[in-house]
Structure 1
Amino acid sequence: MSYKILAINPGSTSTKIGYYEDEKEMFSENVMHSDEELKQYSRVVDEFDMRKDNILNAMKKHGADVKDLSAVVGRGGQLTQIHAGGYRVTEDMKKKLTDPATVEHASNLGALIADAIASPLGIPAYIYDAVGSDEMKDIAKITGMPEVVRASFCHVLNSKAMCRKAAKEFGKTYQEMNFLVAHLGGGISISAHEKGRIIDVITSDGGPFSPERAGSIPLNYIIDMCYSGEYTKREMQKKETGMGGIKAYLGTSNCIEVEHMVEEGNKEAEKIYKAQAYQIAKGIGELSPTLKGNTDAIILTGGVAHSKMLTDWITEYVSFIAPVKVMAGENELESLSMGALRILKGEEMAEDYRLR
């Protein structure tokens, strides 16, 4: 029996979809969303219908019938108190992902859209290796405020997929190696992987600024801004995510455009782009002690890792720690699909997400 699986990966500026029959990719598509298109939505969850319609239209364009599907798997969103692996989409999960108190991220739509497509067909909807999968050591969760516990939010799916791929190239398994991974995308996260577990992370709001996120900023400045009366909570959230980082400085979050600016002699663009590389390198250095000097390789991945200009600058700073492997792009659609396939075949068990 063959299984047909639709994999859905919503990102900040695109929705990637892949259609698989067992291990074989039948087609994939990256549906881009312009700034103008996204501006009309006040919250990420409001993009649900637009993104779902784009996915169904792409299926029709490629001649694929949703009625043939065995399962739909979406990128896991900002869920807490879960571990890596597969989960069935439940009402509790949907409630959590649509809760205004949940951190806004495009990945939250993965489970929601997967369920909306799968439920009428009577087939399962899954998430796999969700953003909030928690394998962190307890010591890594402690902050300077007892009321605040550090959470394990990072690009789990792609980071783990690239580690598995890199380990295979070394002739080993993921569980035999240690990696530092910087996922470079619309948001940037850095993670330390010890023998198959993500033991510590730097989140997209806790480290380097990215194409559209402000990253970590000294708290006193943020406190002053929040209580200045000049900004609403929503405006401050937008300054951190969506309108921060490179976009706030240069008016674009497109790193190809930024590279062109640098090549054309724009000194401000060069300074900001180099500052991003500098902060990414600092983040990698910050996590390196967690592996106690036993780092087999540093992996630079994600869409922005296609920028050789940026990855060369980062490599200059961190190559003394361990060899640097640039693995641009991502393997997320395949990783989602293969995770769902293992569940369908009974090689792995999916859990039900429950609110606690």
Structure 2
Amino acid sequence: MSAPVLVINCGSSSIKYQLVDGDTEEASTSGVIERIGQSESVVTHTTDDGKRVWNEHVADHAAGLEAMVRACEEFGTPLSDAGLIAVAHRVVHGGERFVQPVVIDDEVVDAIEELAVLAPLHNPGNLEGIRVARRLFPELPQVAVFDTAFHTTMPERAHVYAVPEEWRKRHGVRRYGFHGTSHAYVSRKAAEMLGKDPKQVNVIVAHLGNGASITAVERGRSIDTSMGLTPLEGLVMGTRSGDIDPAIVFHMHRSTGASFDELDEALNKRSGMLAMTGVIDMRGIDRAARSGDRAAELALEIYCYRLRKYIGSYIAALGGADAIAFTAGVGENSAEVRARALEPLTALGVKLDESANQAGGPIISTSDSLITAMVVPTDEEGEIAAQTASLLRS
């Protein structure tokens, strides 16, 4: 590796990590530590020699990152011998302040903590990983790469909400958008698949995982995206409602006496596909729909209808699109979701190739389709490493 970067993504109860070359975006080691803080955690560590999975007690994020260091020493290349140029951290919310990656210092740590009010489910976990990694790797630059940064190019017409001025100016209420590293990476790869420079094409990127968002990318720049102040707005997701009438919150508060924290938890963790079907796995929902399960069929139709509406609106926002790129777990693996989203869009210039779609692409539209539909595997860690290497060389 010419520019090895340790990429860390800390959630509230998990840690994902990869050792990635910032020049080639290729990973030699990856892993995930799940169920941190529970009686028995699960560690999965993958190298070129294969995948290893074991259980151990991981009390907190400090113990989790220490387990990562031990795993690298025992299986593969010890991190002390990897020639690391930096440790890079995925941070979900950068607010209006962080529009590009930054080298982390105490001031940046304080700012990320202040921004936790905008991402209370994400930034605290990200921040804990930063604090622990700074202690474990004190000699290395620590870099923060923000999910929101790619979307700071949105024009005011896309990011300003029609709410009181005080909310906007004093409390930071606006559209921020998320999954920025994925949208940046996939839109660039989509342009490459078209044989063009990203600045020559308009791409709609549908990042469909448990969390889901869609972005209109005009000549390499995000001009609109479905998630808003928080990751709750937009598409129907695994456990999030996506777009709803905001007055539903007040209606349920008055009708049931539920606190706003309880309603926040319900909309983020007990809504979406889980609320409609009891599960979040799209493969299971698809199988249930095929077997005649009415709830699963309705949920699938709602999911794809919402996605289709966003695609259509972003074709209009862009004044025409060159490509629609599907990515992340559902986007890359569900031919049914892609078909339901695209087949009704023939009038807008999309012609789906059914056999290519079933095969998973990469191109899933016909040769005479005015808009090229494609499947592009995302690589957020590779993008984070590449941005980190570029920052340190600038």
Interval of TM-score (by shorter of Structure 1 and Structure 2): 0.7 to 0.9
1:196 matched to which residue of 2?
220
Which structure would you say has the larger RCO, counting Cα contacts within 8 Å and 6 or more residues apart?
1
1:243-263 CA-to-partner distances (Å, cap 9, x unmatched) read: 210111222222222223223
1:335 aligns with 2:353: no
Name the SS of the counterpart of 2:109 in structure 1. Answer: helix
1:16 matched to which residue of 2?
16
Mark the runs of 5 or more structure 1 residues left unpaired by the alignment. 39-45, 349-356
Match of 2:330 among 291, 304, 309: 304
Distance 1:179 1:234 in 2: 37
1:221-243 CA-to-partner distances (Å, cap 9, x unmatched) read: 22211344521222111112122
Q: Which moved more, 1:172-181 or 1:251-260?
A: 251-260
Distance 1:54 1:282 in 2: 45
Q: CA offset at residue 265 of structure 1?
A: 2.7
Name the SS of the counterpart of 1:180 in structure 2. Answer: strand
Name the SS of the counterpart of 2:117 in structure 1. Answer: coil
Contact 1:185 1:303 (8 Å CA) reproduced = yes
Contact 2:20 2:381 (8 Å CA) reproduced = no
The 1:258/1:58 distance shift into structure 2, 3 A limit, reads farther
1:219 matched to which residue of 2?
246
Contact 1:89 1:115 (8 Å CA) reproduced = no
Contact 1:302 1:327 (8 Å CA) reproduced = no
1:169-204 CA-to-partner distances (Å, cap 9, x unmatched) read: 112121221111121112211211111211111114
1:263 aligns with 2:279: no
Distance 1:116 1:83 in 2: 21
Contact 1:77 1:132 (8 Å CA) reproduced = no
Q: CA offset at residue 288 of structure 1?
A: 2.6
Q: Which moved more, 1:97-106 or 1:147-156?
A: 97-106
1:54-94 CA-to-partner distances (Å, cap 9, x unmatched) read: 64454345333333432111212212114553212233433
Taking structure 2 as the reference length, the TM-score comes to 0.76
1:262-288 CA-to-partner distances (Å, cap 9, x unmatched) read: 233322112101210111111222333
Higher CA-based Rg: 2
Match of 1:290 among 287, 295, 317: 317
Distance 1:81 1:198 in 2: 15
The 1:65/1:302 distance shift into structure 2, 3 A limit, reads same
Q: CA offset at residue 167 of structure 1?
A: 0.7
Name the SS of the counterpart of 1:335 in structure 2. Answer: helix
Distance 2:298 2:244 in 1: 18
Distance 1:239 1:101 in 2: 18
1:74 matched to which residue of 2?
89
Distance 2:105 2:87 in 1: 13
Name the SS of the counterpart of 1:192 in structure 2. Answer: strand
Distance 1:106 1:223 in 2: 25
Mark the runs of 5 or more structure 2 residues left unpaired by the alignment. 41-58, 351-370
Q: Which moved more, 1:299-308 or 1:322-331?
A: 322-331
Q: CA offset at residue 297 of structure 1?
A: 1.0
Contact 1:179 1:299 (8 Å CA) reproduced = yes
How many pairs are equivalent? Answer: 337
The 1:316/1:281 distance shift into structure 2, 3 A limit, reads same
Distance 2:31 2:149 in 1: 25
